[in-house]
Amino acid sequence: MPAFAVIGAQWGDEGKGKVIDFLAGNARIVARYSGGNNAGHTVINDAGTFAFHLVPSGVCWPHTQNIIGNGVVVDPDVLLTEIGDLKRAGLNLKGLAISERAHIVMPYHVQLDILEEKRRGAGALGTTGRGIGPAYIDKVARTGFRMGELLNPEEMAVRLPEIVKHKNEILTKIYGAPPIDAGAILSKVQTWAPRLAPYIKQVEDLVEEALSKGENVILEGAQGALLDIDHGTYPYVTSSSPTVGGALTGSGLSPRAFGGVTGVFKAYCTRVGGGPFPTELTGEVGEHIRTKAKEFGATTGRPRRTGWFDAVAGRYSARVNGFDTIVVTRLDILDGIDPIKVCVAYALDGHRIDRFPLEGGSLERCVPIYEKLESWTKSTYGVTREKDLPAAALAYVRRIEELVGVPVSMISTGPRRHETLVLRDIFGK
Ligand code: IMP
């Protein structure tokens, strides 16, 4: 009967899309619970190569219903483009359902995101510029529009002019930008409404029904725990809750529905955008990882910052989320790198600390304390059986398991669905 959350355990881009596409073979529903089209989930299988931004990563399985939960913010233009592209690629989107309560990313949110980033100057957060922060601001300010309102566009037309008037004051008086035209936004609403209406549903009922029949439900996270608005490296975070709390509030499920929480870790670390990153590699090894792993944002194309695996951050992530298993992805990228290092603790102001520091500004001062691990030369690419892994690669994974304190259930050894090594069944635990 349970729901299983699959959560990014680092700064996003851990390979959740691939993992969820693999696991969805055994799930009735995949429900995305947070973020918006700041995410880019890459999935490669027999149906093709995809970068999902809003559509959940279970969409390639015909028996799996895909849901966009209430915690997600939806840019209707992006979603419509994505639906169109996926249909053209031969996928069946009939089962896609969008929560009535998911908020809409309006064109002025995108504009405000970009203007605010410019205004921050050297202190820019490095947002994806997709309007995510401003859309969540309006949700909290209670001035947002929700997807369900597209079912009654006439009512939206009543509320829109007042909101646009307010946005125009901000645009013109704070940013010195030209005002936007409420009429242009209204015509967008009128094109979105009939095209998206068939997908807008009370999705909580669908999830509840699946759970009551004993079917598996995957709650798909976006971004990563260290980008969480509360638990991440604030202010260099996204505006939603990628951690396990967000999986509950973003899907409308109770904790009792949970059967497990899985954290997805890359075998190393990456971060895109600003903010502290203690294990960052700025030299040759970092460049090698970036090039070999094609570490460029799936959404913005920006080069990702790369670094060694950070077990201090990993332990923190496991604590915040209560992981009962973890998945290690992109192990093959470390093939041939010598030496391999893992950060086991930090030095903060001359003292060794094993816990992730929570006081603002302290992570910036942390210096990683590394352990060198044995490297391996034999390729791990595409390995699907434990006995085929080089001993040092398996020892690396086991050391991560030990340091993070959570058993590894799966290792991803390549981007395609089948390039996966299962050590224990996530659903069976
Ligand atoms: P926003 O979510 O666009 O507001 O960006 C806030 C921060 O989160 C920036 O550092 C982004 O680079 C980062 N971010 C947002 N989405 C993702 C993601 O899917 N992967 C990695 N970083 C992300």
Judgement on whether residues 183 and 39 belong to the same structural domain of the protein: no
Q: Is residue 427 part of a domain?
A: no
Q: Provide the pLDDT confidence category of residue 1 given band limits of 50, 70 and 90.
A: low
Q: Is residue 397 part of a domain?
A: yes
Average pLDDT for the chain: 96
Judgement on whether residues 354 and 231 belong to the same structural domain of the protein: yes
The confidence score (pLDDT) of residue 417 equals: 96
Query: Is residue 343's pLDDT more than 60?
Result: yes
Judgement on whether residues 234 and 185 belong to the same structural domain of the protein: no
Q: Is residue 27 part of a domain?
A: yes
Query: Is residue 357's pLDDT more than 80?
Result: yes
130, 266, 272, best to mutate for ligand 1 pocket (most atoms within 8 Å of CB) = 272
CA 21 to centroid of ligand 1, rounded, Å: 22
CA 410 to centroid of ligand 1, rounded, Å: 25
The confidence score (pLDDT) of residue 274 equals: 92
Pocket of ligand 1 from Cβ distances under 6 Å: 11-13, 38-40, 125-128, 130, 132-133, 222-223, 227, 236, 238-239, 272-274
The confidence score (pLDDT) of residue 105 equals: 98
How much of the chain, in percent, has pLDDT values that exceed 90? 93
Query: Is residue 429's pLDDT more than 60?
Result: no
Cα(267)–Cα(309) distance, rounded to whole angstroms? 6
Please tell me the total count of domains within the chain: 2
Q: Which atom of ligand 1 is nearest to the CA of 275?
A: 10
Judgement on whether residues 107 and 85 belong to the same structural domain of the protein: no
Q: Write down which residue in 142, 174, 198 finishes a domain.
A: 198
Judgement on whether residues 181 and 209 belong to the same structural domain of the protein: no
CA 123 vs CA 119, 262, 303, 366, 409: distances in Å: 9, 33, 19, 20, 39
Task: Give, in degrees to the nearest 5, the angle at Cα 422 between 267 and 214.
Answer: 120
pLDDT in tens, 7-19: 999 999 999 999 9
Query: Is residue 428's pLDDT more than 80?
Result: no
Q: Is residue 76 part of a domain?
A: yes
CA 135 to centroid of ligand 1, rounded, Å: 14
CA 366 to centroid of ligand 1, rounded, Å: 22
Q: Is residue 349 part of a domain?
A: yes
DSSP string, 191-236: HHHHHHGGGEE-HHHHHHHHHHTT--EEEE--S-GGG-TTTSSTTS
User: Can you give the CATH number for the domain in which 384 is found?
Assistant: 3.90.170.10
The confidence score (pLDDT) of residue 212 equals: 94
Q: Is residue 123 part of a domain?
A: yes
Q: Provide the pLDDT confidence category of residue 85 given band limits of 50, 70 and 90.
A: very high
pLDDT in tens, 305-319: 999 999 999 999 999
Q: Provide the pLDDT confidence category of residue 296 given band limits of 50, 70 and 90.
A: very high
Q: What is the dihedral of CA 181, 182, 184, 189, to 10 degrees?
A: 160
Q: Which atom of ligand 1 is nearest to the CA of 127?
A: 5
User: Can you give the CATH number for the domain in which 149 is found?
Assistant: 1.10.300.10
Q: Provide the pLDDT confidence category of residue 331 given band limits of 50, 70 and 90.
A: very high
pLDDT in tens, 166-180: 999 999 999 999 999
pLDDT in tens, 146-162: 999 999 999 999 999 99
The confidence score (pLDDT) of residue 190 equals: 95
Q: Which atom of ligand 1 is nearest to the CA of 299?
A: 19
Give the chain's length: 429
Q: Is residue 23 part of a domain?
A: yes
26 within 8 A of 217, measured Cβ to Cβ: no
Mean pLDDT of 80-85: 97
Residue range(s) defining the domain that contains residue 312: 3-90+202-422
Query: Is residue 100's pLDDT more than 80?
Result: yes
Q: Is residue 107 part of a domain?
A: yes
Mean pLDDT of 196-206: 96
Judgement on whether residues 396 and 278 belong to the same structural domain of the protein: yes
Maximum CA extent, the chain: 66
Judgement on whether residues 268 and 160 belong to the same structural domain of the protein: no
